[in-house]
Amino acid sequence: MTTTQTQVERPARVPARDSARAGAPSLGRWLLTAAALAFLGLFLFVPLALVFAKALEKGLSAYAAAITEPDALSAIRLTLLVTLIAVPLNTVFGLAAGWCIAKFEFRGKSVLTTLIDLPLAVSPVVAGLVFVLLFGSGGALGPWLSAHEVNVIFAVPGIVLATTFVTFSYVARELIAFMQAQGREEEAAAVVLGAGGVQTFLRITLPRIKWGLLYGVTLANARAMGEFGAVSVVSGHIRGRTNTVPLHVEVLYNEYAFSAAFAVASLLVLVALVTLVAKKTVAWRARVEKR
């Protein structure tokens, strides 16, 4: 429907692209498409298919057994716990950062924006390392922590901290981009009309950023559930205690329990696929609402 309308309104514009291609030798176009798809097949599609093929290799019952055995369940529980702490923390931060960066002018704004991206440039291994340096037995706070019998490293708090660190940027980045694109006139209008700060935020800002927020949270969620390097460094790999789902996958894989490893991994792949669907949906919703 929509395409037809555009064509009626601007007959010269829409076909312009078509005609730019019209003269292209279709053989060349076919070859380029084939080359691109072959590349993607080799590096994306085949591995994706392989996860499910290997996971279901030994049948559905083996699949169900692999994801319901006690160690797997405790890994799932731990991953959910960590995600439920890390993602909301970063969401609150994202909202605060988005609000002050998108709605106000202040000195050092670009520094703040750059610093928010910083954790993305840090190798996951280094992200784990800094917490070991801070809280580990040889670290800055180590002696004090062991004197008070608080375990951070090789325990759940360390995993939570490392996960929060690596997912730090996601919500904030999405929200800053989203809120900057929307400007601040509507909020200013609400305040002039007599709305308070909280009312303005809940009634004006939040409804407008909900898709960006949703996407940022989905991204952070996928990364939190799937983080491997940083968590691996701080966790100590204690089965049933400090194993998250990705670490459990590693353990199973290293024990040559391949189909069990892929069965558990397929759960994470599903999370990833949901994230991709969320991204498409958000892009689509944002387009719809712009109209």
Partner 1 sequence: MATRAARRVLPGFRLSFGYAVVYMCLLVLLPLSTLVITTAGMSWPDFWSAVSSPRALASYELTFGASLVAAVVNALFGLLVAWVLVRYRFPFKGLVDALIDLPFALPTAVAGITLTTAYAPNGWLGAPLGRLGIKAAFTPLGITIALIFIGLPFVVRTVQPVLQDMHAEAEEAASVLGASRLQSFVRVVLPQLLPAVLTGFVLALARGIGEYGSVVFISGNMPMRTEITPLLIVTKLEQFDYQGATALAVVLLTASFGLLFGTNALQWWTRRRLATP
Partner 2 sequence: MGLEVRDLYKSFGETPALRGIDLHVASGSLVALLGPSGSGKTTLLRVIAGLEVPDAGQVLIAGEEQTRRSPRERNIGLVFQHYALFNHLSVFENVAFGLRVRRRPKAEVEERVRELLGFIQLEGYEARRPGQLSGGQRQRVALARALAVQPRLLLLDEPFGALDAKVRQELRAWLRRLHDELHITSLFVTHDQDEAFEVADRVVVMNNGAIEQAGAPEELFESPTNMFVADFVGDANVLQGCARCGRAVFGALDIPYPEYQDEQPLAATAYLRSHDLELRRTRNGGGELPVRIVQARRTGSTVKLVLVALPCLSTLHLDMRPEEWRRLELQPEDTAYLAVHRASVFTRRPGSEEAFDSWTSSGL
Tell me which residues touch partner 2 (CB under 8 A): 4, 7-9, 11-12, 14-16, 19, 22-23
Q: Does 158 bind partner 1 (CB under 8 A)?
A: no
Shortest spacing between CB 272 and partner 1, in angstroms: 4
Question: Under rule CB under 8 A, which residues in 180-209 are in contact with partner 1?
Answer: 184, 187-188, 191-192, 196-197, 200-201
Closest CB to partner 2 among residues 17, 148: 17
Cβ atoms 154, 234 nearer than 8 A: yes
Calculate ∠ Cα 55-60-61, nearest 5°. 115
The distance of closest approach from Cβ of residue 197 to partner 1 in the complex, given in angstroms and rounded to an integer, is 4
State the Cα–Cα distance between residues 53 and 259, nearest whole angstrom: 9
- Beta-carbon contacts of residue 172 (< 8 Å; ≥ 6 apart): 90, 93, 94, 97, 98, 116, 216
In the complex, minimum distance from the CB of residue 35 to partner 2, in angstroms, rounded to a whole number: 25
Q: Which of 242, 262, 263, 282 binds partner 1 (CB under 8 A)?
A: 262
Choose the binding region for partner 1 from 65-73, 107-115, 143-151, 207-215 (rule: CB under 8 A): 107-115
Interface pick for partner 1 out of 158, 212, 216, 246 (rule CB under 8 A)? 246
Q: Which is nearer to partner 1, 64 or 277 (CB)?
A: 277
Of 73, 84, 181, 276, which one interacts with partner 1 (CB under 8 A)? 276
Rg (Cα) of the chain, in Å, rounded? 24
Residues contacting partner 1: total by CB under 8 A: 100
The Cα–Cα gap between 263 and 141 comes to 39
- Say if residue 176 is exposed, middle or buried (CB neighbours under 10 Å; 0-12, 13-18, 19+): buried
Contact (CB, 8 A) for 54 and 62: no
CA distances from 127 to 130, 135, 195, 278 (A): 6, 13, 42, 27
DSSP state of 23: T
Which tokens is 289 given? 């609402």
What token pair was written down for 79? 């991953």
Q: Does 222 bind partner 1 (CB under 8 A)?
A: yes
Q: Which stretch binds partner 1 (CB under 8 A): 2-10, 58-66, 207-215, 262-270?
A: 262-270
Hey, is 250 helix, strand or coil? helix
Nearer to partner 2, 24 or 96 (CB): 24
Comparing CB distances to partner 1, the nearer of 35 and 73 is 35
7 contact, one of partner 2, partner 1, none, CB 5-8 Å limit per kind: partner 2
| Distance of alpha carbon 225 from alpha carbon 81, whole angstroms | 10
- Given 175, 213, 249, 263, the residue binding partner 1 (CB under 8 A): 249
Q: Please identify which residue in 66, 97, 217, 282 interacts with partner 1, judged by CB under 8 A.
A: 97
Interface map 108-137 toward partner 1 (x if CB under 8 A): ----x-xxxxxx-xxxxxx--xxxxxx-x-
